């Protein structure tokens, strides 16, 4: 039993040493700065990339308002419909300091109350909102 107890204590001490070393590695130094920078990038991308889609049924048809975040207004947008599904993809290329290049994109899909035809779609743009209109048949 004494040998088992000694082995157990030895392993526990080694686990503590390894755990402390891992904590130190992940919480200090270059790796920590890298992780904090990555977390900041992810957080800012999500706060800047909030797209809202508002669907309204009107007597003449279906209106869909899509608010586009400031960071994506100079980017590309793709709107597709398939049966009752509306797919919106926005993409923007960012040029960083020192000529590095980063691309951001997001896709949202909403279910419409009824089937629409993409070829019947009418569009209008108002500063930060793209409005789609699908007339009733």
Q: What is the rounded average pLDDT of the residues 122-137?
A: 90
State pLDDT tens for residues 57-91: 999 999 999 988 776 667 788 899 998 899 988 88
Q: With bands split at pLDDT 50, 70 and 90, how would you rate the model's confidence at 99?
A: low
Whether the per-residue pLDDT at 132 is higher than 80: the answer is yes
Task: Identify which has the larger pLDDT, 50 or 128.
Answer: 128
Architecture of domain 50-135: Sandwich (2.60)
First vs last C-alpha separation in the chain: 85
**Residue in 89, 130, 85 with CA at minimum distance from that of residue 107:** 89
Spatial separation of the C-alpha atoms in residues 18 and 119, rounded to whole Å? 62
pTM, whole model, 2 decimals? 0.58
């Amino acid at each position: 039993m004494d040998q088992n107890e000694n082995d157990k204590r030895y392993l526990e001490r080694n686990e503590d040493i390894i755990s402390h070393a891992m904590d130190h590695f992940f919480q200090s130094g270059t790796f920590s700065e890298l992780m904090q920078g990555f977390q900041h990038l992810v957080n800012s991308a999500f706060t800047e990339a909030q797209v809202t889609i508002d669907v309204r049924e009107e007597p003449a048809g279906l209106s869909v308002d899509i608010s586009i975040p400031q960071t994506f207004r100079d980017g590309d947008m793709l709107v597709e419909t398939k049966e009752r599904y509306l797919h919106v993809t926005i993409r923007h290329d960012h040029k960083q300091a020192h000529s590095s290049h980063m691309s951001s994109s997001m896709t949202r899909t909403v279910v419409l109350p009824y089937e629409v035809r993409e070829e019947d779609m009418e569009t209008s743009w108002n500063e930060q909102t793209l409005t789609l209109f699908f007339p009733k048949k």
